[in-house]
Amino acid sequence: MVWTFGATLLVALALTVLAAIGLWAHLLYWVKRLTLPLEYSVEEVLRTEDGAPIEIRRVPRPDGVEAQPDLPPILLVHGIAANHRNQDIHPDYSLARHLATLGRDVWLLTLRSGRLLTRAERRSVRFSAMVRYDLPCAIEAILERTGARSLDYVGFSMGGMLLYAALGRSVPGDRVRRVVIVGSPGRLTTPVRLMRFLPGRLLPGVPLRLMARSFAFASEWLPTPIHHAVANPRNVPPGVTRLALVNCIEDIPAALNADFAAWMASDGEIRVDGERVLDGLASVAAPALFIAGSADRIAPATAVRAAFDAWGRDRPETPKRFLVLGRDFGAREDYGHGDLAVGAYTGVELFEPIARFLGPQAEDASGPETGAVALEAIQARQPTSDETAPMPDLPAA
């Protein structure tokens, strides 16, 4: 049998169509199976001054839990490649619902980067735009709806970086009472130095949403180097990785990707309008709790420490605390980046310290984890756990 070019082309086309149908059926099945809808008492779409849509959600308090009217609302802001579920992935592993159970008025923000975007909307997803428009819009809306004068702010990864840039610029300092920073680097680094020669406009977006949903079903079968780069697999409860990939992960638009690549390819300094973001933190007065993971490869403790050092640098009286989660510091496991949000022991080791810090009387800002002690220990530490050993006493998902 002689195959003509036309016949070969038809066969290739037929195989492509079959593959597309198979992928569609695969996604339909696993997305339906792994989607975990959660209830919110308020879900609202806002329009920023530049016309971009963002979303705010209010986490309901459980029945029988009394509100704490003397304490301000709490705003949780997600990181890059994520949406509002970043810190609300599962009721048992949710900082948002942990705080709501204590009677706090908890709100979640979905930045413009955390939505399913049209091609036109992707062009407006820049770090500077979220600093200028998204944070001020969300904060003012929540204060208006609650009648509060200020709020408590919890930023995860990029959510904290945005506050570094916004506080005292687009967000007045008196709008924020206390701040919790979770895995938010003050400087960025990359081993790929050749990136400095690649124009930012040539960087594509990263379709993480499709990739995450396509491989979610097999994500916990065998830990890979990618798993260890994102989180410590030993510290993530069974089933949570699959839930996160389907319910939380979003694309990284090309414009935002270019922003981060530009910082990493130069000196690692985060800049907005040419100004170093960390320089603007010198006069900050808000008490802050900085949390870093001892095994975090995305936001190493040294990178988070850069922001800690800059915070209130010209105001020695500004209370601040630098907490490292790892075995060398009393934690059950060494924390990577992702498990700072959904780790197996976050309820005790992360959620409770945050709740106490945001309470009516903040914890003492001094402590053994503060300042140079934690940084030096991280730099000198040796592996303390057998990566092949099973995690003891792992709670069920």
Predicted local confidence at residue 323, as pLDDT: 94
Q: What is the pLDDT of residues 52-79, one digit of tens each?
A: 999 999 999 999 999 999 999 999 999 9
Question: What is the structure's pLDDT at 386?
Answer: 36
pLDDT of residue 390: 34
pLDDT value, residue 197: 54
Cα–Cα nearest to 164, from 72, 263, 279, 83: 279
Q: Is the pTM of this model over 0.95?
A: no
pLDDT digits (tens, 9 = 90+) for 72-83: 999 999 999 999
Compute φ and ψ for 387, nearest 5 degrees. Answer: -65, -20
**The one-letter amino acid at 308:** F
74-77 and 151-156 as β-strands: parallel, antiparallel, unpaired?
parallel
Q: What is the pLDDT of residue 119?
A: 87
pLDDT tens, residue by residue, 134-184 = 999 999 999 999 999 999 999 999 999 999 999 999 999 999 999 999 999
Sign of CA dihedral 16, 203, 133, 339: positive
The CA angle 183-200-77, to the nearest 5 degrees, is 30
63: amino acid identity, one letter = D
Read off the pLDDT of residues 327-359 as tens digits, 9 standing for 90 and up.
999 999 999 999 999 999 999 999 999 999 999
Within 8 A by CB and 6+ apart from 120, the residues are none
User: Where are any strands of DSSP class E within the chain?
Assistant: 42-47, 53-59, 74-77, 106-110, 151-156, 176-182, 271-272, 275-276, 288-293, 320-325
| Integer Rg of the chain from CA | 22
Q: 233-262 burial by CB neighbour count: b if 16+ within 10 A, else e? A: bbbbbeebbbbbbbbbbbbbbbbbbbbbbb
pLDDT category at 196 given cuts 50, 70, 90 is low
Query: Exposure of 13 by Cβ count < 10 A (0-12 exposed, 13-18 middle, 19+ buried)?
Result: exposed
- 175/136 Cα distance (integer angstroms): 10
Split at pLDDT 50, 70, 90, the class of 238 is: very high
Strand partners, 289: 180, 321
Q: What is the pLDDT of residue 26?
A: 66
Average pLDDT, the chain: 87
CA distance 250 to 392: 32
Smallest CA-to-CA distance from 279 within 169, 137, 375 is with 169
Residue 216 reports pLDDT greater than 70? yes
Q: What is the mean pLDDT of residues 11-22?
A: 74
DSSP state string for 33-96? HH------SEEEEEE-TTS-EEEEEEEPPPTTPPP-TTS--EEEE--TTB-GGGG-SSGGG-HH
